[in-house]
Amino acid sequence: MTDAPEDIDASAHEAHGGGLGSRLNWLRAAVLGANDGVVSTAGLVVGVAGATESQAALLTAGLAGLLAGSMSMAAGEYVSVSTQRDSEEAALAQEKRELREDPEAELAELTGLLAARGLSADVAREAAEQLTERDALRAHARVELGIDPDRLTIPWHAAAASFLAFTVGALLPLLAIVLPPASARLWVTVVSVLAALTFTGWWSARLGEAPAGRAILRNVAGGALAMAVTYGAGSLLGATGI
């Protein structure tokens, strides 16, 4: 047995975003989720701080924002990954049917796909035969559909990861507004939020291999704008004495 089928298998897998690619995607989603938690919760608590000095009100608003945001993120992720998984399973089922009904056409198809990856016709045929003999469905899933049938994303895993990422981000402004004395809470929150956004902006730029400077600036500016707007709204509402 040659190594060829294994190598082709691995490169197909990588090309379709498995392995390193999917780890990077997860990491990127985690950084974005945390960033979301920081910005939305900071906007919320800074807005409430514009209206009232009550620590109970700040804690209630921050905690409610944390839970609402993290559950909304988790639910959204669950729905989207479930849908993706449904379509992957449907594609696998169709592949299985085709393999049963017309194995010759499927072998020719796999041969063509492998040849398109740069193998000579003879080697492609040989590789396709070996892959088909070993596990035809798996070979078609990887080479043709770009999915690993043993490693489909589990919807509630993705949901839990989103929930966790948002919660970690949201905890920062929540603690920053609740823990310091009343006179310092606003500035402690603003400074720590902008520092956190500098970090998440830098990190997501690094993951996307983009220049960090502009990414950081955009991220920090977005967070600063969110806090300025909600603080302005909170102050106006607080001044009316409602």
Where does this chain bind Zn ion (CB under 5 A)?
106, 140, 144
Shortest distance (Å) from residue 100 CB to Zn ion = 11
Taking the least distance from each CB to Zn ion, the nearer of 9 and 106 is 106
Amino acid identity of residue 47, one-letter, is G
Taking the least distance from each CB to Zn ion, the nearer of 77 and 106 is 106
Shortest distance (Å) from residue 16 CB to Zn ion = 15
Taking the least distance from each CB to Zn ion, the nearer of 29 and 109 is 109
* Distance from C-alpha of 135 to C-alpha of 90, rounded to nearest angstrom: 19
When CB distances to Zn ion are compared, the closest residue is: 140
Taking the least distance from each CB to Zn ion, the nearer of 137 and 175 is 137
3-state helix, strand, coil in the chain (%, to 5): 85, 0, 15
* Distance from C-alpha of 167 to C-alpha of 165, rounded to nearest angstrom: 5
φ/ψ of 102, rounded to 5, equals -145, 70
Shortest distance (Å) from residue 151 CB to Zn ion = 19
Shortest distance (Å) from residue 219 CB to Zn ion = 43
Amino acid identity of residue 153, one-letter, is T
Query: For the chain, where are the E strands, in sequence order?
Result: none
Residue 83 burial by Cβ neighbours in a 10 Å radius (0-12, 13-18, 19+)? exposed
* Distance from C-alpha of 128 to C-alpha of 143, rounded to nearest angstrom: 10
- What is the CA 200 to chain-centroid distance, rounded? 14
Shortest distance (Å) from residue 153 CB to Zn ion = 22
Shortest distance (Å) from residue 136 CB to Zn ion = 8
Taking the least distance from each CB to Zn ion, the nearer of 139 and 197 is 139
* Distance from C-alpha of 37 to C-alpha of 17, rounded to nearest angstrom: 27
| Segments in 52-102 forming alpha helices (H) | 55-101
Taking the least distance from each CB to Zn ion, the nearer of 31 and 110 is 110
